[in-house]
């Protein structure tokens, strides 16, 4: 029997309490120290935390929230950053003895928590054809095996090269260079499932697929509209900034089906006030939109702005395109449509609009609550419309802030990890390395799954990540991986994705951010780019988890040297001295001039961003208004919408623990949060086990055994954790334009569980 790709369907021992009304406090500090001490021991752990996010330390491997430009406290980390460090600096090891003890089938029966908790990978491993256990393999043999499979393919387009957003700039740059020299643009990444919708919307409307503000702008603006984001859990250092925004007189509006704890109030753990248990209230207004209710909400905001005559005619005239036709369409939308489809009243929307209008400056922040819907691109384009019509963009304290996820996901894109990089990039790459990159667009994440399923792709290589568990439709993705000749994962920790392999499977263990990277020319550092376009260095100092680990950069160079017979790229020299890589990056990618010198300055440097100076590099040469028709999801009777989101104790598919402290959930992950009336209508009792079935174009998918939790969520809107709920997300359900999987509005029904 083949190993099950789903996490085990077993219940733990749920304990429930009321959701918390304020975030952090001393509890977070004790919790973070507890995690680090349990995993790494007090000494190694303290040493790591001391260097976390310092100007001469390493970049936090958790989220992409920026560090302050000026003075930094010696505690520039958060509870969840500490968990990420603990999980990497753990003293536990999964070594040859471990893999001799457990077969792949046995490992597949363990929980995601168990797999991650087992420890750090220590040496390269091979799961041979029809073998039951992984066994050690030498680095050279591993590289040769990859080369053999890659060179046996009928076409380079039969191979897929995935990247997760933790890879450094240097590793990512060499990876995409290798892949393009090999001959394909099949470079899917986690961004395809994440902020792709933001990139698509922003590139079209303002000419750059990135945010346009700085940390200081956030802290000094008059109004912060936070849509579809849960900073208390996913960007906890943002709470320090939100507290400053409020202290500086700014107003925060939360737009979210849930009034998340981290948007209610914050008690700073490193300030006396916080230690005394006092909290700063954050959001002055919470707008409980229905799932996918943001586009109509934004239309209400726009109507209010127009009615109040709060537009900026000079900005519109000078800098924008398409205003007249946009205006006509907005005027045609009725308040009835707006309130019915958003689920919020005209009064609430007008109140939010009033705050936005009164504010001299305003910033909108957003994350997955906006990006993972069928009309995500339209919704984000409407956010842009709101800033264009009021002129609140391209000046200090005003602008757009897509809050990135992985700590270097933005940098990986800057380095060329994308299945459809523009011609300007490819031409520069070709010139620098004297070859011709392929021009045909490659597969994105879901295209890759479909290609593997169809037998059109035979090799899958993952630079980090957990493609199996992060992708939609876990069973289809598993079937896709099994179709491959070879699957290979460059990773720090064991995950479920390593258990569902092609005919042969490889695990290539790499150094983590916290660890010293010693190469022939001496100790190396790498660089990363945060959510606000600051490029800075990251240098680990800890003794590596095993002397057999290689850096990501060295692994990429090893694969390239084994695979490419004709290449003029000095792969060996690159792997020995990362300054040489950076010298090439500065010639290929705009904004990186004098890279080696500038990145050595404490704090690094900002990449250029034209929008900050009101220069919009779009097709029209101006910022574009867009028309985004309402397109509500129609549900049949009995159906609900389900969002799949993160608990407080996980980093994507890495599960640190089974609690979701702020939402009052202890010791369980198989829960579904439901509106009380929805439960009553279905005769579902609190904590009753239910099965969830999703519905898409006549297909159904079922996830079994979840406990029903009554929760303050709008009627018709449910929530369950990722990755347990990924089996429900249809492969074909993809956002228009960005092609992002629709994991925040899955159409479901629920029924009492039939799981034995
Ligand atoms: N500790 C920790 N940090 C992380 C991560 C992690 O897993 N753990 N993941 C990292 C990554 S890769 C990313 S992308 C980010 C993710 O950061 P978030 O986007 O904050 O992640 P989610 O948990 O998916 O939360 C989505 C939020 O949007 C709301 N929401 C859902 N649907 C809608 C909607 O239709 N409209 C509105 N307005 N709101 C909606 C949900 O209620 C929830 O508050 O965090 C990064 N940081
Ligand atoms: N249903 C649903 N699905 C989703 C989402 C959702 O909200 N709902 N969110 C989507 C989003 S926003 C994202 S970004 C993706 C995330 O998808 P991925 O980025 O593919 O997944 P992660 O869980 O972040 O990857 C974790 C693994 O990365 C490896 N790793 C950790 N550190 C390092 C390192 O330094 N180097 C290397 N080489 N490997 C390392 C470890 O082996 C670890 O097990 O998932 C997406 N999937
Ligand atoms: Mo993400």
Pairing of strands 486-491, 459-463: parallel
The candidate with the shortest Cα–Cα distance to 382, out of 370, 368, 372, is: 370
Q: What is residue 217's predicted lDDT score, i.e. its pLDDT?
A: 98
Correct CATH for 634-752 of 1.10.3720.10, 3.40.50.970, 2.40.40.20, 3.10.580.10 = 2.40.40.20
User: Which residues are in the CB-under-5-Å shell of ion ligand 3?
Assistant: 194, 405
Average pLDDT over residues 651-674: 97
Q: What is residue 26's predicted lDDT score, i.e. its pLDDT?
A: 57
For residues 356 and 398, give the distance between their C-alpha atoms in angstroms, rounded to a whole number.
11
* Mutate-to-test residue for ligand 1 from 341, 646, 654, 662, highest number of ligand atoms within 8 A of CB: 646
Q: What is the CA radius of gyration of the chain?
A: 25
Q: How far is CA 437 from each of CA 95, 169, 406, 554, 562, rounded to the nearest angstrom?
A: 39, 19, 27, 22, 19
CB 150 within 8 A of CB 158: no
Domain spans of the chain?
A: 34-193+408-536+546-604, 196-403, 634-752
**pLDDT digit string, tens, across residues 67-94:** 888 887 766 778 888 889 989 999 999 9
H or E stretch covering 306: helix 294-307
* Mutate-to-test residue for ligand 1 from 229, 402, 404, highest number of ligand atoms within 8 A of CB: 229
Q: What is residue 101's predicted lDDT score, i.e. its pLDDT?
A: 98
> Does the beta carbon of 483 lie inside 6 Å of ligand 2?
no
Average pLDDT over residues 556-566: 97
**pLDDT digit string, tens, across residues 16-40:** 999 999 997 556 667 777 777 788 7
Beta bridge partners of 664: none
Pairing of strands 223-227, 159-163: unpaired
Residue, of 37 and 606, whose pLDDT is higher: 606
> Does the beta carbon of 510 lie inside 6 Å of ligand 1?
no
**pLDDT digit string, tens, across residues 117-140:** 999 999 999 999 999 999 999 999
The domain covering 196-403 belongs, at the CATH homologous superfamily level, to: Dimethylsulfoxide Reductase, domain 2 (3.40.228.10)
For residue 205, the CA-to-ligand 1 centroid distance in Å is 24
Beta strands in 495-633 (DSSP E): 504-509, 517-519, 522-524, 526-529, 534-538, 605-606, 623-624
Query: What residue has token string 């536990």?
Result: 92
Q: What is residue 161's predicted lDDT score, i.e. its pLDDT?
A: 98
Q: Which pair of structure tokens corresponds to residue 555?
A: 């692994």
For residues 601 and 596, give the distance between their C-alpha atoms in angstroms, rounded to a whole number.
9
Q: What is residue 31's predicted lDDT score, i.e. its pLDDT?
A: 72
Q: Please give the mean pLDDT across all residues of the chain.
A: 95
H or E stretch covering 104: helix 104-108
Cis bond leading into 479, ω under 30°? Answer: no
- Residue 234 Cα: closest atom of ligand 1: 3
H or E stretch covering 152: helix 139-152
Q: Which residues contact 422 (CB under 8 A, 6 or more apart)?
A: none
**pLDDT digit string, tens, across residues 457-513:** 999 999 999 999 999 999 999 999 999 999 999 999 999 999 999 999 999 999 999
Using pLDDT thresholds of 50, 70 and 90, give the confidence band for residue 583: very high
Average pLDDT over residues 686-692: 98
- Residue 409 Cα: closest atom of ligand 2: 14
> Does the beta carbon of 650 lie inside 6 Å of ligand 1?
yes
Question: Could you give the 3-state DSSP secondary structure of residue 6?
Answer: coil
Residue, of 61 and 548, whose pLDDT is higher: 548
Q: What is residue 75's predicted lDDT score, i.e. its pLDDT?
A: 64
> 1, exposed or middle or buried, with CB in 10 Å at 0-12, 13-18, 19+?
exposed
Query: What residue has token string 């489809």?
Result: 341
- Residue burial 337-361, b: 16+ Cβ < 10 Å; e: rest: ebbebbbbeeebbbbbbbbbbebeb
Average pLDDT over residues 386-394: 98
Beta strands in 552-653 (DSSP E): 605-606, 623-624, 640-645, 650-651
For residue 337, the CA-to-ligand 1 centroid distance in Å is 27
First to last CA, the chain: 20
Q: Which ligand is nearest to the CA of 61?
A: 2
**Cα–chain-centroid distance for residue 750?**
28
DSSP letters, 602-617, are TT-EEPP-GGGGT---
CATH topology of domain 34-193+408-536+546-604: Rossmann fold (3.40.50)
**pLDDT digit string, tens, across residues 430-472:** 999 999 999 999 999 999 999 999 999 999 999 999 999 999 9
CB 394 within 8 A of CB 611: yes
H or E stretch covering 163: strand 159-163
- Residue 371 Cα: closest atom of ligand 2: 12
Alpha carbon nearest to ligand 1 atom 3, residue: 234
**pLDDT digit string, tens, across residues 265-285:** 998 877 767 667 789 999 999
Using pLDDT thresholds of 50, 70 and 90, give the confidence band for residue 48: confident
User: Which ranges of 161-269 does DSSP label H, i.e. alpha helix?
Assistant: 169-182, 196-206, 215-220, 231-234, 237-247, 261-264
Average pLDDT over residues 713-724: 98
For residue 290, the CA-to-ligand 3 centroid distance in Å is 22
At 699, give phi and psi (nearest 5°).
-90, 150
Q: Is residue 705's pLDDT more than 90?
A: yes
Q: What is residue 352's predicted lDDT score, i.e. its pLDDT?
A: 98
Using pLDDT thresholds of 50, 70 and 90, give the confidence band for residue 195: very high
Q: What is residue 403's predicted lDDT score, i.e. its pLDDT?
A: 97
Q: How far is CA 735 from each of CA 255, 365, 471, 636, 641, rounded to the nearest angstrom?
A: 21, 20, 14, 21, 16
Q: Is residue 142's pLDDT more than 90?
A: yes
Q: Is residue 43's pLDDT more than 80?
A: no
Residue, of 522 and 86, whose pLDDT is higher: 522
For residues 650 and 634, give the distance between their C-alpha atoms in angstroms, rounded to a whole number.
32
Q: Which pair of structure tokens corresponds to residue 619?
A: 């097709």
CB 231 within 8 A of CB 688: no
For residue 707, the CA-to-ligand 2 centroid distance in Å is 25
For residues 584 and 581, give the distance between their C-alpha atoms in angstroms, rounded to a whole number.
5
CB 163 within 8 A of CB 412: yes
> What does DSSP assign to residue 724?
G
Q: What is residue 28's predicted lDDT score, i.e. its pLDDT?
A: 67
- Packing angle, helices 294-307 and 346-358, rounded to 10: 60
> Does the beta carbon of 511 lie inside 6 Å of ligand 1?
no
For residues 391 and 319, give the distance between their C-alpha atoms in angstroms, rounded to a whole number.
9
Q: What is residue 196's predicted lDDT score, i.e. its pLDDT?
A: 98
């Amino acid at each position: 029997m083949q190993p099950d790709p789903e996490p085990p369907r077993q219940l733990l021992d749920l304990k429930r309490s009321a959701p918390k009304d304020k975030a952090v406090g001393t509890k977070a500090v004790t919790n973070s120290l507890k995690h680090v001490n349990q995993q790494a021991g007090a000494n190694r752990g303290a040493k790591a935390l001391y260097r976390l996010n310092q100007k001469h330390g390493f970049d936090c491997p958790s989220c992409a929230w920026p560090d302050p430009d000026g003075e930094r406290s010696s505690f520039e980390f958060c509870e969840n950053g500490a968990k990420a460090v603990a999980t990497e600096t753990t003293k536990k090891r999964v070594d040859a003895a471990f893999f001799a003890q457990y077969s792949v089938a046995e490992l597949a029966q363990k929980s995601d928590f168990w797999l991650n908790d087992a420890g750090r990978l220590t040496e390269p491993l091979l799961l041979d054809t029809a073998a039951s256990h992984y066994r050690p393999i030498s680095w050279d043999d591993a590289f040769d095996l990859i080369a053999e499979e890659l060179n046996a393919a009928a076409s380079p387009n039969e191979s897929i090269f995935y990247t997760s957003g933790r890879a450094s700039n240097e590793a990512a740059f060499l990876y995409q260079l290798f892949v393009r020299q090999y001959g394909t643009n099949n470079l899917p990444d986690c961004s395809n499932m994440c902020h792709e919708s933001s990139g698509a919307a922003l590139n079209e409307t303002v000419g750059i697929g990135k945010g346009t503000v700085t940390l200081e702008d956030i802290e000094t603006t008059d109004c912060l509209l936070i849509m579809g984001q849960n900073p208390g859990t996913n960007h906890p250092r943002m709470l320090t900034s939100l507290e400053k925004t409020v202290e500086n007189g700014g107003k925060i509006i939360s737009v979210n089906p849930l009034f998340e704890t981290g948007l209610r109030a914050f008690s700073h753990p490193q300030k006396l006030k916080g230690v005394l248990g006092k909290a700063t209230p954050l959001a002055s207004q919470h707008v409980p939109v229905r799932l996918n209710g943001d586009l109509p909400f934004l239309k209400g905001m726009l109507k209010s702005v127009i009615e109040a005559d709060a537009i900026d005619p000079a900005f519109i005239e000078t800098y924008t395109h398409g205003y007249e036709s946009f205006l006509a369409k907005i005027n045609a939308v009725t308040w009835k449509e707006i309130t019915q489809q958003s689920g919020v009243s005209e009064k609430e929307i007008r109140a939010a609009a009033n705050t936005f209008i009164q504010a001299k400056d305003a910033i909108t922040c957003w994350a997955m609550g906006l990006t993972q819907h069928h009309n995500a691109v339209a919704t984000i384009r409407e956010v842009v419309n709101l800033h264009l019509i009021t002129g609140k963009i391209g000046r200090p304290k005003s602008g757009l802030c897509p809050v990135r996820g992985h700590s270097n996901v933005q940098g990986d894109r800057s380095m060329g990890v994308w299945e459809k990089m523009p011609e300007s990039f490819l031409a520069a790459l070709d010139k620098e390395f004297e070859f011709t990159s392929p021009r045909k667009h490659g597969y994105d994440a879901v295209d890759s799954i479909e290609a593997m399923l169809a037998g059109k792709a035979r090799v899958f290589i993952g630079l980090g990540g957990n493609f199996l568990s992060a992708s939609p439709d876990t069973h289809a993705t598993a079937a896709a991986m099994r179709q491959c000749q070879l699957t290979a994962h460059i990773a720090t920790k064991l995950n479920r994705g390593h258990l569902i392999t092609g005919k042969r499977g490889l695990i290539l263990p790499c150094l983590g951010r916290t660890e010293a990277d010693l190469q022939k020319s001496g100790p190396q550092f790498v660089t990363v780019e945060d959510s606000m376009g600051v490029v800075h260095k990251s240098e680990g100092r800890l003794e590596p988890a095993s002397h057999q680990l290689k850096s990501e950069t060295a692994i990429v160079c090893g694969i390239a040297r084994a695979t490419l017979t004709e290449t003029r790229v000095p792969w060996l020299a690159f792997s020995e001295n990362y300054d040489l890589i950076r010298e090439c990056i500065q010639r290929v990618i705009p904004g990186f001039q004098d890279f080696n010198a500038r990145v050595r300055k404490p704090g690094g440097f900002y990449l250029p961003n034209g929008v900050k100076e009101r220069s919009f590099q779009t097709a029209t040469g101006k910022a574009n208004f867009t028309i985004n028709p309402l397109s509500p999801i129609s549900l049949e009777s009995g159906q609900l919408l389900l969002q799949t989101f993160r608990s407080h104790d996980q980093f994507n598919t890495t599960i640190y623990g089974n609690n979701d402290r702020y939402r009052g959930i202890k010791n369980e992950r198989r829960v579904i949060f439901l509106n009380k009336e929805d439960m009553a209508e279905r005769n579902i009792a609190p904590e009753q086990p239910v099965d969830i079935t999703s519905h898409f174009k006549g297909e159904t998918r079922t996830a079994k055994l979840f406990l029903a939790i009554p929760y303050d969520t709008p009627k018709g809107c449910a929530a369950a954790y990722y990755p347990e709920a990924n089996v429900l997300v249809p492969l074909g359900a993809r956002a228009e334009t960005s092609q992002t999987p629709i994991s925040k509005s899955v159409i479901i029904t629920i029924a009492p569980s039939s799981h034995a």
